[in-house]
Structure 1
Amino acid sequence: MEILEKIPAFVRISGPPNSNFLVGYPGISATMPRIEGKVEIRPGSGYTAPVAISFVSIGLYRKETIHPHADGVISGRLAAPRKELRKLVAKEQRLYQCPAGMPYEMVMAMDLPFMLMIPVSGSGSEDILNVPPASLTLPSRVAETYYELEVSVRQGHTELTKHTFPVPITRYDTLSSFGMYNRPETQERVSDHLVTLCMVLERWSFGPNDPVEVSVRLTPNPDWIVKARKVSISKIVVAIEEHITYNPQGDEPSTKVKQLTSKKEVVGQKLPESGYETRINIKFPAKELRDSDGYLPPGKPAFPLYEVSGFTTSATLYKIDYFLTVKAHMSSCRDITLRQKIVVSPFDYKTCHDELPAIQEAAQVAYRIGQEGPRLPAPVIIYPSDTAMLRRVNMTKVGNERKLIIQ
């Protein structure tokens, strides 16, 4: 019996037919985001050698890593080591437990369905913090978030073996097609009591290659009109910045700022008494996914392919924010800078708009599941003593030999 305990089991996970593990839309609680599938256990040696199974469990884990100095060259001193975090996201489920009083059961095959619910935001602010951030890896791996399904299997008295399977997760609560991101945002600032800079952003969620249009207006102070006439507008610069904050909840948070793109409008004129108004268009930068030959490189199983290097997200070890800045360069008056926070989505506006019907359909399906309760198929366990055991493992008996049916 000890020899049978040492025969390893082959473990894999399969999702629903014609579907991925991930069902629903993470970040949108109405769709009841969840991971569905089944754990399949088969003999690891040969086709008909049974394996000893004591119990099987599954859980979803999130792993985060940061290395703020990985994208730079540091000479003369050692860089800080990479910091890692591992956290259970979906509550671990025990899918199988052998009967009491028995160390294990001998099985030929096991199909164990499971459903792991992904946390969603609720009415309390503490629930929002538990919503898992999207899978993401930044250039040079300065920050990473990825997810793994971990299946734990104990075979008799042997040590617990763990099998991991990557699961990419995308958040959908930052889609630029949502109405809350299509409300105008306005900011104003006064310089030297002479000039007021006003910017208006009609929408404030953007994806790769989305147009960003900002209205800029410079107006003189009518109470100081004599001095305001001396002000000249040199240029107006619009830029998009990426702010990565490492250890945002720690004692010593640090932020790195990177300018993604900018556009300059040269004015070169006196500030009119009626004010100066302009509209500046800038395109949000996109990352080229194809190589020089026009082919898509093989992606990493833990990370989806995005057309942006990063997007708005907040994790435990890091967070990424984006800002639109408008700077008016003037003479006879101090320059004025406005900074407006924007949301960056992994998808462009057309993709976001096309995704809305599927989100609505997923919400209807989730509502029915919530009313009726989740239903899973019954587990399938095949024992060596089953009369139809050979056929259920795609084998048959020819004379005194066991052969695969395909033969």
Structure 2
Amino acid sequence: MRRVRIFADLASLLQIQPRIEGKVEIRPSVGISAPVAISYVTIGLYRRETIHPHAGSVVGNHLAAPRKDIVELVGNELRLFHCGPGKSFETVLAMDLPFLLFIPFMRNGEGEVPPASLQLPSRVAETYYELVVSVQQGTSDLKKFSFPVPISRYDTLSTFGMYNTPETQERVSDHLVTLGLFLPRWSFGPNDDVNVTIKLTPNPDWLSRARKVTVKGITVAIEEHITYNPEGDEPTTKVNTLLSKKEKVAKKLPEHGYMTTIAMTYPAKDLRDSDGFLPRQRPAFPLCAVSGFTTSAALYKINYYLIVKATMTNCKDITVKQSIVVTPFDHSTCKNEMDAIAQAAVDAYPINMSNPMLPAQTIIRPGDHNALHALGFTYVGKERKLLIQ
């Protein structure tokens, strides 16, 4: 199953529904060509979430708290096949059942955008998706087959125009000093440049007191806030400082103010081990060289903030907290993805959501002409032989 991409930004503009296209193939599992009794076949996309906020802490060789998980159906379940009226099952040798499964997303303020697949270190939080095919074989127990589907979201790309608008904030301390923050853009990925312009301005009406203020230093940090059970009774938030840089000033605040630009590089996680090898990719998760990104799920949410703090004497310290968006991809990758997103939106535009055109189903029954050919066998005289094309 190829990676599923949700182009939420362009899709919402073109009123296109993200989707999964594929085909369910059913073949005998016992014997060479033992017919299979099929009553009905359904398929659905399920989201599985787990959280364990204390996975990293061990008390007496036991984890500090139990893991919590949920399983939810995303969208609707599709019935791909149902036996004819008056029959409890159909006897078949092979079935090919094409499907097109639409994934719901927010439209006109309604609905929900499914969170992307993600696994945090120590599995403190994870989200993954599975396509589940349910097969009822006559009076036998219902059988379910699961297939992992990694889902990536592309609505936080730093190349989208909404993230390239400047963000500014101001805070005042003791009516003496104003701290202004300027951020040229507010979406970042691994190894992206983060440039923050900070300006400290004295209050012109209180210059006599403002001249006594000494700026000791300015600190800029990026924090990751992971909130567990955000909609529950007892939400808890853990804060991780991903990056911090301090500029030492140690001088009196000039009458015209003090301005500086602090440049940083957003950290990237190196997936390679000590021998330089990449780990084996788990089929349920995309291989992204990041430990997290901005997302919101049912059991947890992850937000990122740019924190600017100015420490001073003869005046209270000032702290500004600016929300930012973290994407799994660096800026150059985001640029490369734009053409693919635009082309995918064009390809998806002709699809009729109420009646999508799908290839015809293929159902081969034991009495059909050359039925064994579908299984790679044929008869030579009265003997069953492998079919050589």
The interval holding the TM-score normalised by the smaller chain is: over 0.9
Name the structure 1 match of 2:209: 227
Cα distance in 1 for partners of 2:200, 2:289 equals: 35
Contact 2:370 2:378 in 1 (8 A): no
Which of 60, 72, 80 aligns to 2:57? It is: 72
Alpha-carbon shift at residue 194 of structure 1 (Å): 1.0
- Give the alignment partner of residue 50 of structure 1, picking from 35, 38, 42: 35
Q: Is the 8 A contact 1:151 1:164 kept in 2?
A: yes
Amino acid at match of 2:77: E
Kept in 1, the 8 Å contact 2:173–2:318? The answer is: yes
Instruction: Tell me the equivalent position of 1:191.
Output: 173
Query: Structure 1 residue 239 and structure 2 residue 217: aligned?
Result: no
Match among 334, 344, 353 for residue 335 of structure 2: 353
The reply to whether residue 172 of structure 1 matches residue 157 of structure 2 is: no
Contact 2:310–2:319 (CA<8 Å) still a contact in 1?
yes
* Residues 91 and 168 of structure 1: CA distance in aligned 2, closer, same or farther (over 3 Å): same
- What secondary structure sits across from 1:289 in the alignment? coil
Q: Is the CA contact 2:243–2:266 (under 8 Å) kept in the aligned structure 1? A: yes
Residues 286-315 of structure 1: CA deviation (Å, up to 9, x unaligned):
110222222221111000011210000001
Which of 361, 364, 368 is 1:386 aligned to? 368
Equivalent residue runs for 1:295-374 within 5 Å: 295-370=277-352, 373-374=355-356
For residue 79 of structure 2, the aligned residue among 94, 98, 106 is 94
One-letter amino acid matched to 1:58: I
Structure 2 CA distance for partners of 1:261 and 1:232, relative to 1, 3 Å = same
From 100, 105, 111, the equivalent of 2:96 is: 111
Counterpart of 1:6 in structure 2 is none
Alignment partner of 1:170: what SS?
strand
Alignment partners' CA distance in 2, 1:22 and 1:277: 46
Structure 1 window deviating more from structure 2 (392-401 vs 31-40): it is 392-401
Per-residue CA shift, 1:311-347, capped at 9, x if unaligned?
0000111100000000111111111110100000011
* TM-aligned CA deviation for residue 24 of structure 1: 5.4
Shift of 1:404: 1.3
Q: Which runs of 5+ in 1 are unaligned?
A: 1-14
**Corresponding position: 1:120 with 2:105:** yes
Shift, 1:252, TM fit: 1.4
TM-score, normalised to structure 2's length?
0.95
Q: Which residue of 1 aligns with 2:66?
A: 81
Report SS of the residue matched to 2:58.
coil
For 1:264, which of 225, 231, 246 is the aligned residue? Answer: 246
Cα distance change, pair 233–23 in 1 and its aligned pair in 2 (3 A) = closer
Letter in 1 for 2:185: R
Quick one: which amino acid aligns to residue 121 of structure 1? M
**Are 1:59 and 2:37 matched, yes or no?**
no
Aligned CA distance change for structure 1 residues 161 and 202 (closer, same or farther; 3 Å): same
Task: Evaluate the alpha carbon distance shift between residue 224 and residue 310 of structure 1 in structure 2; reply closer, same or farther with a 3 A threshold.
Answer: same
Whole-angstrom distance in 2 between the partners of 1:75 and 1:221: 57
SS at match of 2:290: coil
Change (3 A) 1:24 1:318: closer
In 2, Cα distance between equivalents of 1:327 and 1:241: 13
Q: Within 5 Å, give how 1:155-170 maps onto structure 2.
A: 155-170=137-152
User: 182, 195, 203: which is aligned to 1:213?
Assistant: 195
Shift of residue 23, structure 1, vs aligned partner: 6.0
Check the 8 A contact 1:22/1:36 in 2, yes or no: no
Contact 2:198 2:261 in 1 (8 A): yes
Using the aligned pairs only, state the percent identity. Answer: 63
Shift, 1:26, TM fit: 4.9
Specify whether residues 73 and 331 from structure 1 end up closer, same or farther in structure 2 by C-alpha distance, changes over 3 A only.
Answer: farther
**Counterpart-to-counterpart distance in 1, 2:54 and 2:174:** 40
Kept after mapping to 2: 8 A contact 1:148/1:166: yes
| Structure 2 gap ranges (5+) | none
Residue aligned with 1:144, SS? strand
Contact residue 172 and residue 178 of structure 2 kept, 8 A: yes
| Residues 56-65 or 289-298, more deviating | 289-298
SS in 1 for 2:322: strand
Provide the C-alpha distance between the structure 2 equivalents of 1:286 and 1:258, rounded to a whole number of angstroms: 15
Amino acid of the residue matched to residue 48 of structure 1? Answer: S
Deviation at 1:86, TM superposition (A): 0.8
Q: Matched residues in 2 for 1:38 and 1:220: separation?
A: 67
Shift of 1:369: 1.5
* Letter aligned with residue 383 of structure 1: R
Query: Aligned-pair distance for 1:359?
Result: 1.0
What's the CA shift for 1:361? Answer: 1.1
Look up the match of 2:24.
39
Q: Which moved more, 1:29-38 or 1:69-78?
A: 69-78
Q: 1:403 aligns with which of 371, 385, 389?
A: 385
Helix, strand or coil: the match of 2:78?
strand
When structure 1 is superposed on structure 2, of 28-37 and 192-201 the one drifting more is 28-37
